Amino acid sequence: MSLDTLRTRIPDLVVSVGEADRINYARDLYPLTHIRMQDARIGTRPRAVVWPQSAAQIAALTAWAAETGTPLIPYGAGSGVCGGTLASEDAVIVDLKRMNRIVDLDEISLLVRVQPGVIGEDLERWLSRRGYTLGHFPSSIYCSSVGGWVATRSGGQFSTKYGKIEDMVVAQEVVLPDGEIVRTRTTPRAATGPDWDQLFVGSEGTLGFITEVTLRVHPAPEVRCFRGFRFADVPSALAGMRSLLQAGLRPAVTRLYDEIDTLVAGNRKPAADDVVPGWKQKFSRSLREHNVFLQLAQRTAFRHPKMVHALVDMLPGSCLLTVMFEGAAGLTEAEADEGWRILSELGGRDLGPAPGEAWYATRYHVSYRQSALFAAGAFVDTCEVATTWGAIDDLYLGMLRAVQSQALIMAHFSHAYHEGVNIYFTFAATAGTPAEQERLYETIWERLMESCLRYGGTISHHHGIGFSKQRWLARELGGGMEVFRAAKRAIDPRGLLNPGKMGLALSEGERR
Amino acid sequence: MIAESYRREIQYCTFCPKMCRFVCPTAIAEARETVTPTGKQTLLYLVQQEAVPLDTEAVQTFQQCTGCGLCTEYCDHDIDVYPVMREARAEGARRGVVTPEARNVLDNYLQYGNPYGNLTPAYLNRVGARILRQAQVFYVPDVSAIARRPEALDAVLLVLEKLHQENVALWPGPMLGSGYLLHTLGFDDEFRAHAKAFADVARGARTLVFASPHDAETVRKHYPAAGAQLEAEVLTEAEWLLRILAHQDVPGQSARRVLYHDPCSLGRGLGVYDAPRRIIEAVNGSPALEFSWSGAESKCCGWGGGYAFTVPESAKIVARNRIDEAVEQTPDEIVTGSTSCAVQLLSAAGHSMPVFDLMTWLAVRL
Amino acid sequence: MTTGTFGTQPSAAQSPPSTGQTPIDALHVLFPQRVSTRQVDRVVYHRDLSPAQQLAVREGTVGMLPDAVVWPENVQDVTSLLRLANEHGIPIVPWGGGSSVVGAATPVRGGIVCDLKRMNRLVQMDERSLLYVAEAGINGEDLERQLNAAGFTTGHFPSSIYCSTLGGWLATRSAGQMSTRYGKIEDLVVSLEAVLPSGRVIQTKAAPRSATGPDIDQLLVGSEGTLGVITRATMRMFPLPESRRFVCTVFDSLNAGLEAVRLLLRRGVRPAVVRLYDELDTTLALSSLGLEMNGNLLILGFEGRHAMVEAEMNAARPLLAAGEDAGEGPGEWWYEHRYRISYKQSVVLAGEQMVVDTCEVAATWSRIREVYAAVQRALAGYVTVLAHFSHAYPEGISIYFSFVGNADGHPAAGFHAELWRRTLDAVVSAGGSISHHHGIGLLKAPWLAAELGGLHAVFARLKRELDPNNILNPGKMGLP
């Protein structure tokens, strides 16, 4: 059926079938699409892109989609790195960014109600002007939307204090695939059945359109205390991090860089010189003066990652733990002092506030780095996993070893919890032909995911599943997939919402 | 390869996670990935690679840039997307791929020496008395003022009188303005011709005062490459006014809530942030209010880069967004250093908020 | 409430055999020695601790009896039971401590009560990750003491701790008295083992956090036995606190006390205990426990590391300036007597015309005063209403109402039902949530659709997909 019926049905709906739009909505930030773009290969173009401006329009859109059997793909800012918004030829992309109002701020209850299309940084600045913070700072904050955060279970850099997005969501309005508009109740907590908010948080557009979210906000912090600590190696630094959290302290930030990442991260600011002694310091400085990745690429380090890793292993290791507390004056300093005491007792060498302040000043810079690498013909991606403290050392080493011969890989540990911590791997590599490049990329992921599952890690800490990780999801969920699929059948029996993602493809028999 | 010299910029943006999208006025106005800097550059990248043709739709996409330069403020690689887009438009023009909107601007330039149409009779009618063919100091009005806000010309005359600037002549034409729109839309040959003709008229003048910061910027930055040599000192209206007002007594007591909008070309373009603020403070008796996005981070009004001509509906949304931002500061009025900005902001503000260019504001407040 | 007489209603379990073997026979084969069809057991398991049923018992009324009680010993047992139930369409009612006060554990359709209390082992403690794994049937106090012996605590202290189980806590979204610091049960759970209605065993991953689709644990937590049988859980545990201190303040007005609590949470202070009693609760409830106080008493309890406890108390004090310092005494006293209130109910219920119940609701700070006032208005002259505010959040707080009334010659059941109708209608219209931590069960089911809106239908659809034969705890939460 033609799109004309859509135009008749919803006359005010902004619709585009333009080639330039279809090309631009044919990819998101899934690095495999970047690799293909290096070769000027355009992915599958959606049939059309539409920009609804209200939940009612979306409801009408779902009715049209049901009649015509058209897949709909909810779209925020397209910053997903797992291909969660990739389209099929018959799909219509539903871009929610025209629904970008900040509806209400309840300063008594510390709640903000927003539409899904607000870009993160815009919301944060809006709150900041009024003396509040959301406390959610993903490194994509400039290029991701609130709806996207909720749909993908986003986690921000300050999550240890403020929580992840699922801890911030108090209520939602969702348009279900059958056009019904449902709302969860705005309440601090309830024992009124399962937490329905948590059904939609992380559903990645497969269960409904999130059209409004009520989030917790916090008074803007009065003070911020930074401190860097140097530890001899990753395990001892992890022990430090663990003790902080298990002592009941809630730093906003704890970031531990492994040896390579410390070198690379150390290229940010002179302050981090203290982290790396002797000739390593010089190496670090030379890295700083140029773009480290590009330099490494040019020196063909990517072609010989094994050598680089061996070299780093030989160095007298040291890694940097950056910690930051923020919040109310008095309480925050007390908490920080307690934290510094714990870390010093566990062998951390106090580097003063500089490393943390340097990180803070450049905290979103990492997102800019990938361009240079892709432009140079290499590729880079990140893999974020998590596990309990008891299993973290093995998971870290297991995953590193799984791909060390294929890629230059480094890690930091950036979201700490009472019971465990995440690992954020960054890996970069290059291969000869475009086909080899793709193959290498897939191989690395295969090895990372398999080793992650083998060592008991969760396959995604905060990037989500989308398209790229779906084949491992059933093993991840340990039978929970049956519950997820039941929810899918219950809510989207025709399977029209973001199909082909998250391992939810419904069989003929399941479809209604 | 087209836009060969911008290869790095194009590739970096193509593979960037759209870190500047949240400040890009066109991306915000249309909420469309295609017109984010990354989206535009991706399309250009594919055009470069000959995977996509350089057709009207592509050129239309490349026209979605106001040249505000705010993206550069959020780029670790200091990439300015505007010159790349301008080059892509120029490549389109060279290949005869011209959108109807751009064609209209071009035709007006070719026939009337300005982007709007036959403005000369009205211009002469309004300020004929102050026009000289030769002068030491020329005041070059903003073409947008002549076309869209002719009463601003009356204000100019009034202010010149109040400030005793009898030696200042108004620009004689026939070409009005620097040819900024020819340049921005990529009509390089026509721009060169316009620039040379403009320089010929200006020959002998000691000082050129440009009401439009776009004009001042164009003359300073692009005339030399176009082979148009100007000996005169090139001043923006704000810089010149500050110089004059420094020697005069001004009232300085109305204490209204005046919100200042930085024109992109005046601020980020020419680095003039202070002059208009000092003028406002002197005349108003209290410092100008600031937008939450101001100074080097000031947001665009939507006029620049030919955007108000090629995509007028979206340009109006950009203006609307800026007005919404203004309202947060609860000002009595907005003052800006460019009549183009004032015209554009007014298109969205309507009667809800007075918006003045500097001259008109001075005419009222002095 | 469904009423009936002693096991006279036919039910699926006793339906004429088609294969020559009744389901009850099959049960005996599957669970030798671990199944009971004895009348005495069936009577005991036919009700939980909901006051409505207590009143019925007082009147001598007995409701629908279950056909059998089964005690599985491992997850395979549960799977076998659910498969059998599917085969014959028999209702299964998962049963922990049976301490529900809303009828969640009542077998309203008969069938089989699946008592999980033989699955009561503390399986493992991971002292590095501060996690423990325990089976669903473990008793709360038993669990807490086992952890204490190793130097840890669950951090979960519902006043039912002596008579409730871990599985029950999870199934009903329980909250403990120290939840403001340690979190509610949904914050404490890290992973679950559960048996879906199909008999399929699922084991979610013990990861600190994942972005791998909706949080499956959170769909089972609070499902009150309608979506699956929780058999085992991995939970957070905490080192025993170095220090526990109290700051007590008496406010002239309830509003001043509420405002102090709001500002405290807003400032990021994290007391373990926050309890603000209104005037009547301060005088009546506390005096019934032997503490004489007037005004609106606020008890704040802090625990954890010495230095942090000091820092938090110091941060709290300036925000309490509107009240009068009452020292640490009342807090210490409360701590000593913190489970005592659960014993008071029997005393009141023993009076022939007396009706007693509790109702815990929640709302955001912007609405909470209206919810409190609306309930007071709705019940003025009907029953005596005492209230305290006991679980505080930066965005709101819960109210725990206690009602005591005299049916005064009217049937107690009707008097009691009217009490609830007035209360929950008032809560819903004032924008509160109908349950903070007791759950829905039977009692609050009529209001659940108002609470959930269109999501109630989603709940029903999900239930149908997971449990097409509707075997798990049918007839609860407004579901078929």
Among A37, A120, A367, the residue with its CB nearest the CB of B14 is A37
Query: Given a cut of 90, is residue A317 above it in pLDDT?
Result: no
**Per-residue pLDDT, A301:** 58
Out of A20, A41, A117, name the one closest to residue B61 (CB): A20
Shortest Cα distance from A318 to chain B (angstroms)? 28
pLDDT at A297 over 60: no
Q: C126–A390: do the CB atoms touch at under 8 Å?
A: yes
Nearest CB among A16, A97, A375 relative to B15 is that of: A375
pLDDT reported for residue A279: 41
The answer to whether residue C2 scores a pLDDT higher than 50 is: no
CB spacing of B19 vs A95 below 8 angstroms: no
Alpha-carbon Rg for chain C in angstroms: 23
Residue A270, pLDDT above cutoff 80? no
Tokens 């340690």 belong to C182
- Yes or no: say if A79 and A140 are a contact pair by the CB < 8 Å rule: yes
Q: pLDDT at position A339, please? A: 98
Work out the average pLDDT over A259-276. 54
Inspect the interface and report whether the beta carbons of B32 and A119 lie closer than 8 Å.
Answer: no
Residue A418 contacts by C-beta under 8 Å, 6 or more apart in sequence? A245, A246, C130, C208, C236, C238
Check if the beta carbon of residue A474 is closer than 8 Å to that of residue A453.
no
Q: CA A488, CA A497: separation in Å to the nearest integer? A: 9
Mean pLDDT is highest, among B156-170, B243-257, C361-375, for C361-375
**Residue A153: its chain C contacts at CB < 8 A?**
210-211
- The full DSSP string for A275-327 is GS-HHHHHHHHHHHHS-HHHHHHHTTGGG-HHHHHHHHHHS---EEEEEEEEE
Residues of chain A in contact with residue C445, where contact means CB-CB under 8 angstroms, are none
Q: How confident is the model at residue C5 (pLDDT cuts 50, 70, 90)?
A: very low
**For chain C, what is the mean pLDDT?**
93
CA atoms of C287 and C53, how far apart (whole Å): 28
What DSSP string describes C63-118?
-PPPSEEE---SHHHHHHHHHHHHHHT--EEEESS---SSSTT--TT-SEEEEGGG
**pLDDT band, residue A269 (cuts 50/70/90):** very low
Q: What is the DSSP string of C24-65?
A: HHHHHHHSTTSEE--HHHHHHTT--S-HHHHHHHHHT---PP
Chain A residue at shortest CA distance from C174: A191
SS3 A501: coil
Cα separation, C90 vs C23, whole angstroms: 9
Is residue A15 a contact partner of residue A48, using CB atoms and an 8 Å limit? Answer: yes
DSSP C383: S
The size of the A-C interface in CB pairs under 8 A is: 312
User: Which helix (H) or strand (E) is B160 found in, with range?
Assistant: helix B151-162
Residue A90, exposed/middle/buried by CB under 10 A (0-12, 13-18, 19+)?
Answer: middle
> Mean pLDDT, chain A, as a whole number?
91
C223 with A193: Cβ contact below 8 A:
yes
The pLDDT value recorded for residue A291 is 46
Please name the residues in contact with A46: beta carbons below 8 A apart, sequence gap of 6 or more: A22, A25, A26, A73, A87, A88, A89, A91, A92, A93
Q: What is the torsional sign of CA B121, B127, B128, B131?
A: negative
Three-class secondary structure of residue A223 per DSSP:
strand
Q: Which two tokens stand for residue A102?
A: 């900040």
Alpha helices in C285-325 (DSSP H): 286-288, 306-316
| Tokens coding A232 | 């001899």
Q: Which residues pair with C274 in a beta bridge?
A: C300
- Give A 402-431 residues with CB within 8 A of chain C: 415, 417-422
Q: What would the two tokens of residue C104 be? A: 């969640």
Size of interface A-B (CB pairs under 8 A): 111
Pick from A149, A196, A341 the residue to mutate for testing the C interface (most C CBs within 10 Å): A196
Residue burial C262-284, b: 16+ Cβ < 10 Å; e: rest: bebbbbbbbbbbbbbbbbbbbbe
φ and ψ at A110, to 5 degrees? 55, 50
Query: Using 50, 70 and 90 to split pLDDT, how confident is the model at A303?
Result: low
pLDDT at position C284: 82
Helix A234-246 crosses helix A389-403 at what angle (to 10 degrees)? 150
The answer to whether residue A299 scores a pLDDT higher than 80 is: no
pLDDT interval class at A277 (50, 70, 90): very low
- As a whole number of angstroms, the distance between CA C342 and CA B136 comes to 97
CB B195 within 8 A of CB B113: no
Asked if A109 is an interface residue toward chain C (Cβ–Cβ < 8 A), one would say yes
Give pLDDT tens digits for A243-258: 999 999 999 999 999 8
Residue A154 and residue A136: Cα distance in Å, rounded? 9
Residue pLDDT, tens place only, A175-220: 999 999 999 999 999 999 999 999 999 999 999 999 999 999 999 9
Average pLDDT, stretch B240-259? 86
Q: Do C308 and A473 touch (CB under 8 A)?
A: no
Share of chain A above pLDDT 70, in %: 89
Rounded CA gap, A371 and B42, in Å? 12
Task: Decide if pLDDT at C289 tops 70.
Answer: no
Question: Are residues C300 and C246 in contact, defined by beta-carbon separation less than 8 angstroms?
Answer: yes
Nearest 5°: the CA angle A376, A23, B61 is: 90
Contact (CB<8Å) A40/B45: yes
**pLDDT reading at A378 higher than 90:** yes
Q: Which residue of A has its CA nearest to B41?
A: A24
Asked if C214 and A197 count as a contact pair (C-beta separation under 8 A), the reply is no
Instruction: Please tell me which residue of chain C has the smallest CA distance to A190.
Output: C436
Average pLDDT of the residues in C4-25: 58
In order of A206, A299, A355, the CA distances from A279 in angstroms are 52, 19, 19
Tally of residues, chain B: 366
CB-CB contact of A122 with A134 (8 Å): no
Whether residue A195 and residue C222 make contact (CB cut-off 8 A), yes or no, is yes
Read off φ and ψ for residue A75, nearest 5 degrees: -140, 125
- CB distance B69 to B82 below 8 Å: yes
Better-predicted residue by pLDDT, A316 or C248: C248
C-alpha span between C479 and C457 (Å, rounded): 9
**Which pLDDT belongs to residue A283?**
45
Question: Hey, what are B217's tokens?
Answer: 């910027």
Q: Is the pLDDT of residue C331 over 70?
A: yes
- The residue-averaged pLDDT of B98-108 equals 98
Pairing of strands C131-135, C122-126: antiparallel
Which chains form contacts with chain B, at 3 or more CB pairs under 8 Å? A
Question: What is the spatial distance between Cα A184 and Cα C321, in angstroms, rounded to a whole number?
Answer: 37
Percent of chain C scored above 70 by pLDDT?
95
Q: Do chains C and B touch (3 or more CB pairs under 8 A)?
A: no
In B11-50, the residues whose Cβ lies within 8 Å of chain A are 11-22, 31-34, 39, 42-43, 45-46, 49-50
The predicted pLDDT at position A124 comes to 98
C310 touches chain A (CB under 8 A): yes
Residue C440 has pLDDT above 70, yes or no: yes
What pLDDT, on the 0 to 100 scale, is given for residue B353? 95
Q: What is the mean pLDDT of residues C202-215?
A: 98
Measured CA to CA in angstroms, residue B43 lies from B14, B61, B80, B185, B308 at distances of 8, 8, 16, 18, 22
Residues 153-212 of C with CB under 8 A from A: 172-175, 184, 186, 190, 196, 198, 200-212
Q: Is C466 on the interface with A (CB under 8 A)?
A: yes
Q: What pLDDT shows up at residue A202?
A: 98
What integer is the mean pLDDT of A320-324? 95
Chain B's closest residue to A120, CA to CA, is: B22
